[in-house]
Structure 1
Amino acid sequence: MRSKSYFFLLLVVAMGLIAGFVYTQFPYKYGLDVKGGIRFVYQMDTTKLTPEQRADLPRVRSLVQSILVNRATGSFGVAEPVITPKGDDQFVIELPGFTDMKEAREIIGTSARIEFYHATNVRSRGNTTAPYEERDARSETGEPGVEFVKANDPAGKPIRPGDPEYLTVIRGWKMILSGDDLRDATPQPAGSGYQPLMTFNPKGAQKMEEWSRRNQNTGALIATVLDNKVLSMAALNDNTVLSDNAVITGEFSTAYVRKLTDLLKQGALPVDLIPLSEGVVDPTIGTQALDQMVKAGIISFAVIVLFLLAYYALPGFVALIGLGLYVLFTLTVLKLIGATFSLAAIAGFILSVGMAVDANILVFERFKEEMKAGRSLVAGLELGFKRALSAIIDSNACTILTSLVLVAIGTGPVKGFATTLIIGVLISFFTAVTVTRSLLIFLVSSGIASNPKLYAVERNWFGEKFEKTANEKPLRILRKSKLWFAISLLTIVVGLPFVFSGGLKGNVEFRGGYETELAMTGSNKTQAQIEADLD
């Protein structure tokens, strides 16, 4: 027993040190309501939809919203993006903690429709009389691009993306396949960097094979186009038949390749998005309010500390060590997975702290009962943890099941709250059952805390009257079940009129409404003065 307790103690210490080190290596990611972020408003360009898509516009809007959520969580790593439909064809997109407006615009606003063309009007080995020539137009950041010049233009004026003639050049090509024919996109090592590898579905592979066989040994140019911008152009190698995959050739930065393949994996938007507005969002709470929340949490924790020490003595002190490790483990895990600390997530974390304390109290109360029945310290601790385990598992399982439903169907802050709560509950179960138990068993078996008085077994401040007379005068709950059912029914009947008279008043997220934006320029007023003016 003693050697086993020493082993668990060393394991707990090692885990605490590792978690402490990892905790210091990752910063917090705060939510839009705490630290602000970026906000976009986009409108779907419904003019290019087919009649079938227009007739099923709600499905198209739902698909667009799902893809936007995937982009925000995948490309940016934002744990709690807020993607809110507005009206019939608009979306409000909020990215908490994100500051790079240009990158966000490029990823959110793109349709991510990739297309492969046969560039028939660009000169190649087998097409020397074509009217245009290609030029590499890679950006300073390493992003690929192609521009054109007219073959008979002595000045060599470049035709760049965004120029009307640039689209004219692309519209003169023959499409080989489109993004609907794409099955997967992955980064492929190439020299010192990576290249995007496109894998096609069977239909796309058949199209590519047929084209490459028709144009074999002609040096025909394949152009890769994303959102009306040519990424690369490459000649079909002699005696080569392409089919189920193709590589976008060139030298690309690793970051660009990963961003591109992530976008393609998340799917192409079925409709173009028109930007209506964009801007940086100031936090609705701010640093001052966050400091107040932290202060309130510290005060609450101090109250819990006083109660555990006063009522449970040594077990309460051990529970505090376990609770401190729980906080460290949970925050470390949340940082590792890139969780966003919004109001809802912080609420979930605080709730899980309460459940961690609750698990310890269940164990300590069972331990007291075993000690009053004449058990030794070691036997009382073992039986206390063993007999409280089922109640702890039941309560945690119910919480996790409910939270899993919120994760599955919730979005934004709701999913953040549920995710934080699940992680917190799982870690609290480990610290309450394993860490606290190992420390108490170690203290008893090592002889450091073998005095029963240290465990405040006789300290009963709540319900001791009922406990002492429980065997002689038990509470006859089931015998008077009709009375308790009647009281419950009466409570419901009295409360129902208030529900229907006032109702459950949903906010703008449930009922919709109007949105007003106010901007101030050149004002030196304080926050208090501004609030007074608004009132």
Structure 2
Amino acid sequence: MLNIPLWKRVVIWGVVALGLLYAMPNLFYSRVELSNDAEAAIEAAGATPEREAAAGAWPDWLPSSLVNLGLDLRGGAHLLAEVQVEDVYDDRLDAYWPEIRDALRDERDTVGTIRRQDAPAGELRIRVSRPEGMARALEVVRGLASPVTSLSGVGATDIVVAGQGDEIIVQLSEAEQQATDDRTIRQSLEIIRRRVDEAGTREPTIQRQGADRILIQVPGIGSAQELKDLIGTTAQLTFHPVLGRTGDADADVPPRAQLLPSMTEEGTYYTVEESPVVTGEDLVDAQPAFDQNGQPAVNFRFNPSGARKFGDYTAENIGSPFAIVLDEEVISAPVIRDHIPGGSGIITGNFSVEESTQLAVLLRAGALPAEMTFLEERTIGPELGQDSIEAGEIAAIVAFTAVLVFMGLSYGLFGIFANIALLINVGLLFGLLSMIGATLTLPGIAGIVLTIGMAVDANVLVFERIREEMKTARGPARAIELGYDRALSAIVDANITTFIIATILFMLGSGPVRGFAVTLGLGIITSVFTAIFVTRLIIVTWFERRRPKTIEV
């Protein structure tokens, strides 16, 4: 009648033991977190006696995964940034100019000389000296167009070319602008994520909002300004030919050149060519280091393409200065003494060790493709997070106590069995959250509280069914068996529909909604498991030992 095979019993209790084992580190949260941080520091920067002592605070043979606390529980920084996607259009057109120039030079007999003209934002204008060759010039420039690489831009080209008098006007097509906007946001998301991850922060939330906005939430960071300092700078490293040096901030500059201030020499300005020789996009690595004088510096290395361009330029310009520019400021302007074929070098300046490390992080993560404007910034103190945790704990304890009392009064001994399964259910839920590295937020706590209330639903269905079967079944064993068998379909149907809703919330929601969906969905899984298997096993074990002639449900 009530027969559960031994292997099934071993599997059920094994799953329970494993889940509770993974949940256990959360009872010693600070201790385990200190040990995990120390082990990460040892892996990244090497061992020290202090780090080894901190790493030993938690035995390495025990699980050390924790439920990460979200921004509203741990405190941290919140930013909402708007990406100025239009900035990228001019950069794209600037990149087209050398290719267009070289193509038109091959048609000099037809179009004459060519010269780039000043143009409104979003346009590239080129004047030809022979207007009668305009048709051929337009044909050549249009031949440089490429297909748009996006699903929405199938069949379209990336540039639109038109003629006006003796000028060629080049613009990005509408399809290419949309594709560029999407690439810019995706690239910004990835770079921000890499920069935040490089800084060692825990479980950040970085996601797109709308067409051109990015939400950034980083728990545990000191302030919104600290987060802005980390991600707000573009860290655009470029190498430019130097045309001159002056102390006059208002000095005239030739066409296609710019006047940039020195980062290390106050009152000094360099005139450099506007088009860089190499950009930070060709960087593959940057590490903090020390120069030959023992001063903090940054070693860098280019990819093969960047190394070739850098090597060719240094070979052709020995004895000439070149400027290393970071975000429109000249870090240094050394003279090229020899050919540099390896594609690696060192950036020196008045850096502190912290500044050189930060610069290496920014360069390694890459340059933001466009400027960001911060529309919202908030700093959430840890004391507010502690208040949220305490409020959530009170809510969970009240709900938990109410459910325990209700089940005990309503179903007697069977209610106590259900309460034991409920305790196991909460432990398994935290074990699952720890195993997958989920982030717990205040809405997530609400999901746990809701799970506690829903967890007894399945037991209520079973117990009520057993009550009904006791009136007709032959003996308590048969009533218990029929109660579980006939309540199973209702339990599965109710929980599957709720799980579908949780899945939809997770897929379509964001931020707090997803946190709620995670705890609700996992809570449904653990609730069904404990109701169908754990509670039944407890009741069967009790029945086998006591063999009662009748039962009170």
TM-score normalised to the size of structure 2?
0.53
Q: Deviations over 1:362-405 (max 9, x none)?
A: 33344445555536656655554444444333333322322222
2:539 to 426, 435, 440: 440
2:548 to 451, 468, 489: 451
Gaps of 5+ in 1: 123-129, 133-157, 188-194, 460-535
The Cα of 1:408 is off from its aligned counterpart by 2.4
Judged with a 3 Å threshold, the aligned counterparts in structure 2 of structure 1 residues 305 and 5 are, in CA distance, closer, same or farther, namely same
* Alignment correspondent of 2:452: 353
* Alignment correspondent of 2:24: 21
Helix, strand or coil at the partner of 2:547? coil
Q: Deviations over 1:393-446 (max 9, x none)?
A: 3333322322222222322212222222222222223322333233333333xx
**Cα distance in 1, alignment partners of residues 342 and 330 from structure 2:** 23
8 A Cα contact 2:400 2:452, kept in partner: no
**Cα distance in 1, alignment partners of residues 190 and 517 from structure 2:** 17
1:393 to 482, 492, 498: 492
**Cα distance in 2, alignment partners of residues 105 and 300 from structure 1:** 40
Amino acid at match of 2:76: G
8 A Cα contact 2:395 2:449, kept in partner: no
Amino acid at match of 1:176: V
Helix, strand or coil at the partner of 2:545? coil
Equivalent positions of 1:184-199 (< 5 A) are none
* Alignment correspondent of 2:156: none
* Alignment correspondent of 1:318: 417
8 A Cα contact 2:301 2:345, kept in partner: yes
The Cα of 1:341 is off from its aligned counterpart by 3.8
Judged with a 3 Å threshold, the aligned counterparts in structure 2 of structure 1 residues 16 and 345 are, in CA distance, closer, same or farther, namely closer
* Alignment correspondent of 1:160: 263
Judged with a 3 Å threshold, the aligned counterparts in structure 2 of structure 1 residues 21 and 35 are, in CA distance, closer, same or farther, namely closer
| Corresponding position: 1:175 with 2:277 | yes
8 A Cα contact 1:44 1:273, kept in partner: yes
1:11 to 9, 14, 17: 14
Judged with a 3 Å threshold, the aligned counterparts in structure 2 of structure 1 residues 60 and 209 are, in CA distance, closer, same or farther, namely same
* Alignment correspondent of 2:429: 330
Judged with a 3 Å threshold, the aligned counterparts in structure 2 of structure 1 residues 211 and 297 are, in CA distance, closer, same or farther, namely closer
Helix, strand or coil at the partner of 2:277? strand
**Cα distance in 2, alignment partners of residues 37 and 161 from structure 1:** 33
Judged with a 3 Å threshold, the aligned counterparts in structure 2 of structure 1 residues 170 and 11 are, in CA distance, closer, same or farther, namely farther
Equivalent positions of 1:192-341 (< 5 A) are 209=308, 212=311, 227=327, 263-264=365-366, 269-274=368-373, 280-281=379-380, 287=386, 291-335=390-434, 337=436, 339-341=438-440
Helix, strand or coil at the partner of 1:280? strand
The Cα of 1:272 is off from its aligned counterpart by 0.8
8 A Cα contact 1:26 1:336, kept in partner: no
Q: Deviations over 1:27-50 (max 9, x none)?
A: 665555556432446565578453
Q: Deviations over 1:162-181 (max 9, x none)?
A: 96858x487677333553x7
Judged with a 3 Å threshold, the aligned counterparts in structure 2 of structure 1 residues 112 and 258 are, in CA distance, closer, same or farther, namely closer
Amino acid at match of 1:108: I
8 A Cα contact 1:112 1:263, kept in partner: no
Amino acid at match of 1:352: T
Judged with a 3 Å threshold, the aligned counterparts in structure 2 of structure 1 residues 263 and 231 are, in CA distance, closer, same or farther, namely farther
Helix, strand or coil at the partner of 1:38? strand
* Alignment correspondent of 1:38: 77
* Alignment correspondent of 2:462: 363
**Cα distance in 1, alignment partners of residues 332 and 469 from structure 2:** 76
* Alignment correspondent of 2:231: 108
Amino acid at match of 1:420: T
8 A Cα contact 1:305 1:320, kept in partner: yes
**Cα distance in 1, alignment partners of residues 542 and 427 from structure 2:** 23
1:98 to 205, 214, 221: 221
* Alignment correspondent of 2:530: 431
Helix, strand or coil at the partner of 1:311? helix
Judged with a 3 Å threshold, the aligned counterparts in structure 2 of structure 1 residues 121 and 62 are, in CA distance, closer, same or farther, namely closer
Judged with a 3 Å threshold, the aligned counterparts in structure 2 of structure 1 residues 163 and 274 are, in CA distance, closer, same or farther, namely farther
The Cα of 1:324 is off from its aligned counterpart by 0.9
8 A Cα contact 1:40 1:92, kept in partner: yes
8 A Cα contact 1:352 1:425, kept in partner: yes
8 A Cα contact 1:116 1:177, kept in partner: yes
8 A Cα contact 1:60 1:270, kept in partner: no
Q: Deviations over 1:326-370 (max 9, x none)?
A: 212223443555544433222222222223222222333444455
**Cα distance in 2, alignment partners of residues 60 and 43 from structure 1:** 12
| Corresponding position: 1:419 with 2:512 | no
Helix, strand or coil at the partner of 1:448? helix
Judged with a 3 Å threshold, the aligned counterparts in structure 2 of structure 1 residues 79 and 54 are, in CA distance, closer, same or farther, namely farther
8 A Cα contact 2:79 2:378, kept in partner: yes
**Cα distance in 1, alignment partners of residues 202 and 332 from structure 2:** 28
What's the % identity of the aligned pairs?
Answer: 27
Number of positions where the alignment pairs a residue of Structure 1 with one of Structure 2? 399
8 A Cα contact 2:448 2:520, kept in partner: yes
TM-score normalised to the size of structure 1?
0.55
* Alignment correspondent of 1:482: none
Helix, strand or coil at the partner of 1:374? coil
**Cα distance in 2, alignment partners of residues 297 and 19 from structure 1:** 20
8 A Cα contact 1:9 1:439, kept in partner: no
Helix, strand or coil at the partner of 2:510? coil
